[in-house]
Amino acid sequence: MTAESQAVTQASATLLRVAGLACHFGGVLAVQDATFDVRRATITGLIGPNGAGKSTVIDLISGRTKPTRGSVRFGGAEIVGKRPHQVARHGIVRTFQQANVFGGLTVLENLLVGARPWRGESIAAALGPRRAWSGREAEIVDLAWDLLRRFGLEAIANEYARELSGGQRRLVELMRALMARPKLLLLDEPMAGVSPSLALSIADRLMELRDDGMTMLMVEHELRLVEKLCDPVVVMARGTVLAEGSMAELQSNQEVVDAYLGGGGGR
């Protein structure tokens, strides 16, 4: 393979390219210079001590926060500065640090809201003939049941999401994101507040998804899980990217060890 064709392959393997991203909140520099790539069909880890700017980076990519400068290219298109729903329409779906479910909707309804493409979601469709969307509705209901079975949660399908445990809410949020058939899944601490056994089961599901070709960018504190799931791993500290590589490489990087792994940040 020539160097040129290798570069082309490399470029097509990159799904998300974050370059020089910065964000100030008043005088506080939350993110100074975030630059990294996310390759297709990987789980890219984003780690770092508290206040390193990891969640802000997720917010910047997903459009929840507007960056001061920098670029976010997704599959070749510039998406920086777009609003959250516009970013999501490119195929980037995120989860939140605090599991963000529709509490007054059942688990199954939560999943149905996630499903794409959408049909019947306008007043005209609501007042028009039901058959215009009932077929699609049946399809996504089946898809939702499949997903619930895959996660072993079919028993709570008709429970209100507000009645679930923290861990179950995280799973519902993840399933709802999957219903949207994302090209890139942004996961903000998907295992936080989840029991160790449930965390392992979430980890297994994420690995299955990666093996099925899903691309993920994941903020996580639990380093054993990061080691198991993520390659590569991006280390952030004080708003900048410190290093990038496999967990094994990072563990031998003195700067990373000093800033994060060796300090009090890692668990």
Partner 1 sequence: MSTGMIFYLSGLAILLGINLIAIWGLDLQFGLAGINNFAYIVFQAAGGYAAALLALKPASAYGSFETYIGGFNLPFPLPLIGAAAVGGLLAVPVGLIALQRLRADYQAMAMLVLSLIATGLAQAQTGLVNGPAGLALIPQPLVGAFPSSPLGYHWIFLGLTAVCCALTWWVARGISRSPYGRLLRAVRESESAVSALGRNPNALRMTVLIAGGAIAGLSGGLLVEYVTAWGPSSWLYPETFLFLTALIVGGKGNLAGGALGALIVPIGIVELTRRLPAFGYPGMIDSLDWVAIGACLLLFLWFRPNGLIPERKQMFRERSTERTGSRMREAFAGRRTEAR
Interface with partner 1 by CB under 8 A: which residues? Answer: 40-41, 62, 64, 83-85, 88-89, 93-94, 96, 100-106, 108-110, 112-114, 116, 118-123, 125-127, 133, 137-138, 141-147, 149-150, 154, 157-158, 160, 173, 176-178, 180-181, 183, 209, 211-215
Q: Parallel, antiparallel, or unpaired for β 43-47 and 92-94?
A: unpaired
Q: What is the DSSP letter of 163?
A: G
**Smallest distance from partner 1 to CB 174, Å:** 12
Q: Considering beta carbons, is residue 55 or 62 the nearer one to partner 1?
A: 62
**Smallest distance from partner 1 to CB 185, Å:** 11
Contact 206, 194 (CB under 8 A): no
Residue 8: which residues within 8 A CB-CB, separation 6 or more? none
Q: Considering beta carbons, is residue 91 or 266 the nearer one to partner 1?
A: 91
Q: What is the DSSP letter of 228?
A: H
Q: Radius of gyration (Cα) for the chain, nearest Å?
A: 19
Q: Considering beta carbons, is residue 78 or 163 the nearer one to partner 1?
A: 163
Q: Considering beta carbons, is residue 24 or 40 the nearer one to partner 1?
A: 40
| Neighbouring-strand partners of residue 240 | 33, 237
Q: Single out the residue of 37, 73, 79, 31 nearest to residue 54, CA to CA.
A: 31
**Smallest distance from partner 1 to CB 109, Å:** 6
